[in-house]
Amino acid sequence: MTAHESAYAGCRVMITGGCGFIGSNLARRLVELGAQVLLVDVLAPEYGGNLHNIADIRDRVRVNIADVRTEWSMRYLVRDHDVLFNLAGQVSHIDSMTDPRTDLEINCRAQLTLLEACRHENPRIRVVYASTRQIYGRPRYLPLDEDHPTKPTDVNGINKLAGEQYHLLYNDVHGVRASALRLTNTYGPRMLMAHGRQGFLPWFVRRAMDGLPIQLYGDGGQQRDLTYVDDAVDAFLRAGASPAADGQVFNLGGPRPYALRDIAETIVRIVGRGSVDLAPWPEEKKAIDVGSVYSDYARVKAALDWSPTIDLEEGIERMVAYYRVHRQHYWS
């Protein structure tokens, strides 16, 4: 057990969005490390809240079904916790454009509600916020580092940037120790698979497992990097245990970028079904395409000694193996 992992033995930890994809994987690891874990989740299925995600640890965690927008609930729940992993959010870029007010409520107002609860009820708590690479917008250079200008291309990116800045402000002004991890294409077991509005990779996997074609536009050469969920969990644990993270933002990333075509072909080969189809760019989609996007994670490596360890092949194999067994809990 490493130093940052041993810090969680007996630690009182609260996870918002704790029954979702990353939250449930993080909870599982914290339980293994001996933490006392409270999961807070509104259990909205369209956002990925799923009690099956914690079925194997249900008797080892506490669960509170609550909305992070509710002030008095949050003020009560944050008390007496050492670390808060703040993963609750609306993450669909598409939904943010069709329903911008809900995205504003969840990704801005709720963040202020939670931070105010910490400031008044538990100002010594350490908070790690799940931000997103989406806040950068169209790359001006690659790989993206934390100094790249932020110019989001949708409502979700704007609101996530605001949520991130609230956390840094409360760190600097109110002394609530907070940091932010800018996530990128995190994937693995326990993802929402019912639709394709929360990232391309789970939809690719679902299409292949259903024996359907994965459609790519152009030559499929746009590059992306991906972070396997266990690597993302390790980054959260490091940030939650280290004063070096306070007041900082860090990019996460993957071992290397891959062309979308290579990602899709890897999935089809591992699943043993499906196909990869290339199609001409529709004009309306070509106009908003951002091209290749991948991150530089040198800052988090220097500060927290974090690097991704799971490559695409192994990550997809683990993900597909999970859904072969648990498919019925995620497809509808």
245-248 — which CB contacts under 8 Å span 24+ positions? 245/128, 245/179, 245/303, 245/304, 246/126, 246/171, 246/177, 246/178, 246/179, 247/168, 247/171, 247/172, 247/177, 247/178, 247/179, 248/179, 248/180, 248/299, 248/303
pLDDT bracket for residue 287 (50, 70, 90): low
Residue 201 pLDDT: 95
Q: Which residues of 258-289 are buried (b: 16+ CB within 10 A; e: fewer)?
A: bbbbbbbbbbbebbeebebeeeeeeeeeeeee
Q: Which residues contact 281 (CB under 8 A, 6 or more apart)?
A: 217, 218, 289
The pTM for the full model equals 0.96
The yes-or-no verdict on residue 179 having pLDDT over 90 is yes
The pLDDT of residue 243: 98
Burial per residue of 57-90, b for 16 or more beta-carbon CB atoms within 10 angstroms, e otherwise = beeebebeebbbbeeebbbebbeebbbbbbbbbb
Indicate whether 91 pLDDT > 80: no
How would you class 325 by CB atoms within 10 Å of its CB: exposed for 0-12, middle for 13-18, buried for 19 or more? Answer: exposed
CATH 3.30.390.30 correct for 3-192+228-254+294-310: no
Q: How many CB atoms lie within 10 A of CB 240?
A: 25
Pick from 44-48, 67-71, 74-78, 136-140: least confident: 44-48
Task: Measure the CA angle with vertex 228, ends 225 and 229; round to 5°.
Answer: 135
Residues with Cβ within 8 Å of residue 132, at least 6 apart in sequence:
91, 156, 157, 160, 182, 183, 184
Count CA within 13 A, CB hemisphere, residue 281. Answer: 14
Cα–Cα distances (Å) from 52 to 24, 136, 205, 291, in that order, read: 10, 34, 19, 36
Measured CA to CA, the distance from residue 149 to residue 138 in angstroms comes to: 10
Whether 62 has a pLDDT exceeding 80, the answer reads yes
Tokens of 290: 């951002």
Handedness of CA 266, 269, 273, 274 (dihedral sign): positive
pLDDT of residue 311: 97
The domain locations on the chain are: 3-192+228-254+294-310
Instruction: Provide the pLDDT for residue 288.
Output: 64
How many CB atoms are closer than 10 A to CB 169?
15
Query: What is the spatial distance between Cα 165 and Cα 180, in angstroms, rounded to a whole number?
Result: 9
To which residue do tokens 């030559």 refer?
Answer: 219
Residues with Cβ within 8 Å of 93's Cβ and at least 6 positions away in sequence, in order, are 134, 154, 156, 157, 197
Mean pLDDT, the chain, rounded, equals 94
- The residue count of the chain comes to 332
Average pLDDT over residues 219-247: 97
Angle, CA 100 vertex, CA 94 and CA 101 arms, to 5°: 145
CA distances for 143 relative to 135, 179, 303, angstroms: 15, 22, 19
How confident is the model over 141-161, as pLDDT tens digits? 999 999 999 999 888 899 999
User: Which range among 186-200, 222-236, 276-290 has the greatest average pLDDT?
Assistant: 222-236
